[in-house]
Amino acid sequence: MPRPPARTIQKPRPTNPPWKIAAPAALLLVVLVWLFWPSPYSKVKNLDSRGANIIAFGDSLTAGYGASPGQDYPSRLSALIGLPVMNAGVSGDTTEGALARLDADVLSRDPRIVLVGLGGNDFLRGVPISTTETNLREIVRRIETAGAMVVVLGFRFPSLTADYEKMYGAVARDNHCLFVANLLHGIETDPKLKSDEIHPNARGYELMAERIAGPCRKLIRKADAARAQS
């Protein structure tokens, strides 16, 4: 009796593991998001501002209380970015006081970028956070109406009932400002970086300037490009 023909068993074609297929797709997605996701700098209002000056507007943290002249954060920032930064800080100032002097100390100086760092004295004096937020929004609105860009500096204060960092972020987001969050992180708890219980020393102010300098440089580059195209 003849033998039946031998059967050829075909091996299944090798297939790529799912991760080998998913990895390139995930990488492509990351690249596309990186290329086309709107930059926070491109969203800043008045990016093509025709103003001339960078102004730091705030309280004692801007004025440089606790450090020698030239060691305040605006002076340090100026050295880091290679551009003049006007210091419009007044020790003890509240958001209400800052609003009252906004015209004289900021709007009359042909601002291009205004760094707004306020609210600490409101917290220390027990001013309701809703009042602080209202004043900050009005300060930002008036600066932007004058044609300048705004950088909002955010702070955390030890409150059990009010989220200051969230408030600063909301003011920046709603008004299309650049936001530098939690500027005093690690400084307020390190005695080596402080001149007293509240204020930084020279090294503390230097750290503040370093944290602002990177975002500020990127904003200026974007702004220069926008102004050249307008």
pLDDT tops 80 at residue 172: yes
Cα gap 14→17, rounded to integer Å: 9
How is the chain split among helix, strand and coil, in percent rounded to 5? 50, 10, 40
In whole angstroms, what is the distance from residue 209 CA to residue 76 CA?
A: 6
All structural domains of the chain, each given as residue ranges with its CATH number in brackets, are 53-229 (3.40.50.1110)
**What is the average pLDDT value for the chain, to the nearest integer?**
89
Is residue 114 packed enough to be buried (19+ CB in 10 Å), middle (13-18) or exposed (0-12)? buried
The residue type of 191 is: P
**Residue 16 pLDDT greater than 80, yes or no:** no
pLDDT, one tens digit per residue, over 37-57 is: 456 787 999 999 999 999 999
Contacts of 193 (CB under 8 A, 6+ apart): 186, 187, 200, 201, 203, 204, 207
pLDDT of 183 reads 97
Residue 217 burial (C-beta neighbours within 10 Å; 0-12, 13-18, 19+): middle
Mean pLDDT for the stretch of residues 76-99? 98
pLDDT for 5 equals: 57
Average pLDDT estimate for 50-68: 97
Each residue's pLDDT tens digit, 20-40? 555 666 665 544 443 444 567
Q: What is the mean pLDDT of residues 113-128?
A: 97
Q: Which amino acid is at 99?
A: L
Q: What is the pLDDT of residue 129?
A: 97
Query: Amino acid identity, residue 167?
Result: M
**In whole angstroms, what is the distance from residue 70 CA to residue 80 CA?**
13
Indicate whether 181 pLDDT > 80.
yes
The Cα–Cα gap between 47 and 178 comes to 11
Q: Which two tokens stand for residue 41?
A: 């700098």
Q: Is 60 exceeded by the pLDDT of residue 18?
A: no
Please write the tens of the pLDDT for every residue from 205-223.
999 999 999 999 999 999 9
Residue 85 has pLDDT above 50, yes or no: yes
